[in-house]
Amino acid sequence: MNANDPSHLTEELLKRLLASDGVESYLDEERIADRELVDYLRTLLHEHGLKRAGVARTAGLNATVVYDIFAGKSRPGRDHAIMLAFGLECDLHETQRLLRFAGVSELWCRQRRDAIIIWCINQGFDRVATDDELYRLHEPTLLSVD
């Protein structure tokens, strides 16, 4: 198992937590802190060298909605979080983490629509191409055109 694999790291942290004398000592030793959605979005923005306006455009979201999410004024629903992940050029791992931070369910390969989205992310599709694939396979698109 790769030492940089997040699941490996999480398993190690879980072992340390369960072996600790008290939760406070674990929290102090491991410097565990809650990470907010806003912090994660800013990290992705920086790591991917993007601007919020470009993220909004690529995601297909209203710029005001994106700015409010980045400011912590609102939380995205599941489809908006997925669209935001496309705008931030997230890989599957980053997308799943973004969904967790947003407080919505992760993509699940046993659900047809989610499986299509997972496949599209893995293929490097953008949001538009993903919506095309969803539409082609008779599933609701991320960007609803009412």
- pLDDT tens readout for residues 21-52: 888 877 777 655 445 899 999 999 999 999 99
Q: What is this structure's pTM?
A: 0.78
Q: What is the 3-state secondary structure (H, E, C) of 126-141?
A: CHHHHHHHHHHCCCCC
* CB-based contacts of 128, cutoff 8 Å, min separation 6: 60
Tell me, what's the pLDDT at 44?
Answer: 96
What is the pLDDT of the chain when averaged over all its residues?
Answer: 88
Nearest by Cα to 58 from 2, 142, 123: 142
Domains of the chain, each with CATH number or no CATH? 1-33 (no CATH), 37-136 (1.10.260)
What pLDDT, in 10s, does the model give residues 116-128?
A: 999 999 999 999 9
pLDDT reading at 4 higher than 50: no
